[in-house]
Chain A
Amino acid sequence: MEMNRRDFAKLLGGSLIGFAVGGAGDALLKIPGMVVPLLYSGPHVETWKVTTCAKCPGKCGLRVRMIDKFPVQAFGNPLSPMNKGGICPMGLTSVENLYHPDRLTSPMKKVNGRFQEISYAEAYGILTNALSSNGKGKAAFVAQTDSAFMGGLIKQLMAGLESEKVVVDNFASSSSMPFDRAAADHPDFIDFESCDYIVNFGSQLTEISESPLYFSRSMNDFRAKRNEFSTFSPKLTPDAYKANRWVPVSPEFYVDVALGLAYVILTDGTYDKTFVGNEFKDFDGFKKLVMENYSPAAVESRTGVASKYLIETARKFANASAPVAYFDESILYSSSGMRNAYAVVALNALKGFAGYGKLKDRELPDFENKKENESPQSSWNSRMLIGDKDIKILMIYRSNFVFNSPGQDDLRKAISDIPMVISFSPFIDETSELADLIIPDHDDLEKLDAFSSTVTGAPVISTQQPVVKPFYSTVHTGDVIVSLIADLKLSKNWSCKKYEDYLQSYLKPVYKHGKGMLMNQQKPTGLEKSLHQAGWQMASYSSFDEFWQQMLKHGGWWDPFPQTSKYKPAVSLTVDHLTANGRGDQPGKNARGNSLKLNIFHRNFDYRGNMLRNPVLTEQFGMDKDVYYETWIEINPATAKRLSVGDRTKVKVKTGKGAFEAFVIYNPAVVPANIDVPFGLGHTASKKVYGVNPMQYSDAVFDEETGKPSLSETEVKIV
């Protein structure tokens, strides 16, 4: 429809007359759709709101640019101690999800295999009926959230439902779990003030970690002080570019490498004898195991890691005054996942965990309360859905675990056998498409939550405030769960009416505690520091409500001058922790042979398989390789020539699970025995499918203790 200025003026005049009639404007005038945006477009007033990015475990502060109260762009919050103004590609594209046309706009019920929109009242009725009739002891919950508060609430719901079948996929708690199990406590941070050597086991510190942006800055400062770090990993990722030494090794051998390093330290006698004597419970058993099985020569024969690197690294580690052997959740992604982590904990114990720090608990009442929620006590994981006939109800919160896991057909079958599957996903993804009922959660920019972190060496609570009112009939999953606990009477003395009440109950001790500051100024220095420590604050508050409002307004709270101590736990590792049943049982039996292995790697554009619905990120995913919208493999040119595979050609990659097509990129830094393939593409639930999901072609190999899938133990051929 064409419209000139005269017509528009007439229509505008008509509209005004219509409105003047008083409330009858809408009824009297049918305003053409194309004019509505003109009438409602505002004066383009710019405002800013502060919130927290929830796209990865980093908890970065965001400044959201609003034009006429609608978000258009997101930048980093310079006053957040986590990211200090920087932001990563995922954070930058935060606003896109809000406007995504694939967002679910109301609850959906599956009828005859197709989703139909229903009201929230109806959806909530179905959920409460199902839980009250079939919930107790028969429910399971799979969640993915980096909010320990939300995770705690989910566990509280499941405790009320008398079920231990709950897994909250939380990067920080997965990373600290091996410490908690081996030493009943975990370190809060790397003490970069004193740490002078780091051995990193597979963590992508600057890309996917507890705080990629904090680690990016810290590692630059660490290197600027001429400190060294070595990385053992299966791929030379941007994090490993900066390492003084990168040693390629497959993740299932981290246990061998860590214990090989321990062998050298034990042989040299350079370990902390006092700490080990007092705190390492079964040190003699540990020493015997290491000395019998993990000489550098034996480790080299199994892992391919040269003895000279092991000896050199071990001596640097031992001679450093405050070394750290670092790992995070990524170490668990192999068949020897927890054994890897325990071996690295033991390696740290040999030097008394000298490079790690701990916040004093008394300074942190909120964290003290939250501890029970942070560490998963249950050993249940989503793989255990397979073959479990007792589960009658499965709830899923923001976890696309079907997409993230090998053996997807088994998982799909297991889920389809469960009578009632409820998803809280804001989108239809590979997991939520299997649900019977979807109660979509708000977008991150519409919801309220909080995130805690100690990774910077200071207690930080970042708040996620709704920067815009919900666009659609979506519901905060936290509100749904709070209502469920109340309506089904699942907890005694439950007084929360909404998720905000629950969050506030955790954050009241922070207010009472009285210390720390809001994220409304840079870390005080000089005179300002003294004033601050004496109780002076830029933003003052006289009640909890005021404190809460200020926290939301400024993006959070933190204590810039916390009391810290060294992390010195009692280690109760035994030989059983370091040896396993089944695959990889005996040292020397798990060498890789000559076959090529598929090595699935992560990039900082996707996390947990739920990000690449952003068009900007999808386009940029392979930009540095000049590959767009398709899956590529990276191969060492020497291997490629042996296999007669040309650079930038298309090949078929075959595993035991099938074959997929991929674009070949020569990369001389790829391990010659590996074919590297990126994780993130291949979402079949979206309208347009780009590339393939390598998990679909990966063997169903898992870490027994955690159920985390192996990303690098699938044999592969190029055909």
Chain B
Amino acid sequence: MPKYGMVIDLNKCSSCQACVTACKIENNVQIVSEYDAQHGRAMFWMKMLTMEFEGDYPNIRPKTLPRNCMQCDEPSCIKVCPVRATYKNEVGIVAQIYPQCIGCRYCMANCPYTVKVFNWDRNEQPKEVEKCYDPDVSVRPKGVVEKCTFCIHRLQIASEKAKAEHRDMEPGDYVPACVETCPVDAISFGDLDDKKSEVSKESRDYRSFALLDELGTVPKVRYLNAIE
């Protein structure tokens, strides 16, 4: 079984936020009300963060990074879920079973990366957004937690297609929307266990680092440091 992972090259990333938009549209992530958004309840599975500024004005640069679910190999969220609504599947993706979620938000509290979001309400979506819903992804109801799933529906479609064509899945058959969209190919995705894959090579690059690596969550989303 492959072990899917992602490497985001911050040297290539242009902070354009196309990955954020692609994720929002692909996964039918809810547009919350103005009130909710202004009260910390905006829902994004992928977010562009400004971590810090390096240097002093005018020789100053912000350190920005796109951040989604780290798809930990030792995920702290699944350990606290009382109903097993979140679990790690056989290809290493930390997935969610929405109908099983009771909305206790323990997993949100236990995620050190604060990447999970809660459906506080089911806001009426703009008509033009509803018409563009991705038919492959279910819309989550009020009261459940959601997060990046590495566009797991795409894996399902890709594996069914490969099966129908009587072949094994090939690298590139399955990529999440953010990877497909990135204008500068800053995001690599694939099987970390395949030593020949680009993502595997990059994850072992000298520039590679993971967020909060010291916690032992073993994130499968890694970053390549920008070259100064």
Contacts and interface: CB of A to CB of B under 8 A. Distances in A.
Interface of A: 44, 67, 70-73, 75-76, 83, 85-89, 92-93, 95-101, 206-207, 212-213, 216-217, 220, 236, 238-239, 241-242, 245-248, 604, 614-617, 619-620, 623-624, 628-630, 636, 668-669, 672, 690
B16 A206 contact: yes
Contacts of A71: 132
A241 B53 contact: no
B129 A86 contact: no
Interface of B: 11-12, 14-18, 20-22, 24-26, 31-32, 34, 37-38, 42, 44, 47-50, 53, 56-62, 64, 125-129, 131-135, 180-185
Nearest to B186: A220
28 contacts: A67-B135, A72-B134, A73-B26, A75-B181, A85-B180, A88-B18, A89-B18, A92-B181, A96-B132, A98-B128, A99-B132, A101-B128, A216-B14, A216-B183, A216-B184, A217-B184, A220-B12, A220-B14, A238-B14, A238-B15, A241-B62, A246-B59, A615-B129, A616-B24, A619-B32, A620-B20, A628-B38, A630-B38
A650 B159 CA distance: 51
For the complex of A and B, 9 pairs with smallest distance between CB atoms: A86-B183, A628-B37, A99-B131, A89-B21, A238-B15, A99-B128, A213-B183, A615-B126, A96-B128
**From B48, B50, B64, B184, residue with most partner A Cβ within 10 Å:** B184
A242 B16 contact: no
Nearest to B40: A626
A75 B16 contact: no
A88 B17 CA distance: 8
Contacts of A89: 16-18, 20-21
B25 A73 contact: yes
A86 B184 contact: yes
A248 to B, nearest CB: 5
Contact of B128 (A44, A87, A97, A245): A97
B37 A88 contact: no
A73 B131 CA distance: 10
A247 B47 CA distance: 29
A246 B21 contact: no
Given A89-B21, A615-B126, 5 more contacts: A88-B18, A212-B183, A604-B16, A620-B21, A623-B48
A630 B31 CA distance: 16
A583 B181 CA distance: 45
A359 B20 CA distance: 37
Nearest to A306: B58
A690 B38 CA distance: 12
A617 B17 CA distance: 10
B64 A241 contact: yes
Secondary structure of the A contact surface, majority rule: mixed
Contact of A672 (B56, B57, B125): B57
Contacts of B17: 89, 604, 620, 623-624
Nearest to B63: A241
B55 to A, nearest CB: 9
Contact of A616 (B47, B57, B129): B129
B137 to A, nearest CB: 11
A88 B183 contact: yes
A73 B132 contact: yes
Contact of B62 (A97, A236, A239, A604): A236
Contact of B184 (A92, A220, A245, A615): A220
B128 A100 contact: yes
A236 B184 contact: no
A624 B49 contact: yes
A92 B18 contact: yes
A636 B57 contact: yes
B17 to A, nearest CB: 6
Contacts of A93: 21, 25
B48 A616 contact: no
Nearest to B29: A616
Nearest to B23: A92
Nearest to A604: B16
Contacts of B50: 624
A206 B182 CA distance: 13
B134 A99 contact: no
Contacts of B181: 75-76, 86-87, 92
Taking each of B11, B21, B53, B61, which has the highest tally of chain A beta carbons within 10 Å of its own beta carbon? B21
Given A97-B128, A236-B62, A619 B14 contact: no
Given A72-B133, A629-B37, A99 B127 contact: yes
A519 B203 CA distance: 34
Contacts of B53: 668-669
Contacts of A83: 183
A76 B131 CA distance: 20
Contact of B57 (A217, A238, A669): A669
Nearest to B227: A223
Given A72-B132, A246-B58, A669-B57, A616 B25 contact: yes
B227 to A, nearest CB: 8
A308 B1 CA distance: 58
Contacts of A72: 131-135
A70 B59 CA distance: 50
A220 to B, nearest CB: 5
A300 to B, nearest CB: 14
A17 to B, nearest CB: 31
Contacts of B25: 73, 92-93, 616
A624 B131 CA distance: 27
Contacts of A238: 14-16, 64
Please indicate which of the listed interface residues B47, B61, B132, B183 has the most CB atoms of chain A within 10 Å of its own CB.
B183
B15 to A, nearest CB: 4
B134 to A, nearest CB: 6
Contacts of B48: 623-624
A255 B57 CA distance: 23
A86 B53 CA distance: 28
A242 B185 CA distance: 16
Contacts of A636: 57
Nearest to B157: A46
Contacts of B16: 88-89, 206-207, 212, 216, 238, 604
A616 B31 contact: yes
A623 B34 contact: no
Contacts of A216: 14, 16, 183-184
A621 B26 CA distance: 18
Contacts of B20: 89, 620, 623
A248 B58 CA distance: 7
Contacts of A85: 180
A32 to B, nearest CB: 20
A241 B59 CA distance: 10
Contacts of A97: 128
A628 B40 CA distance: 9
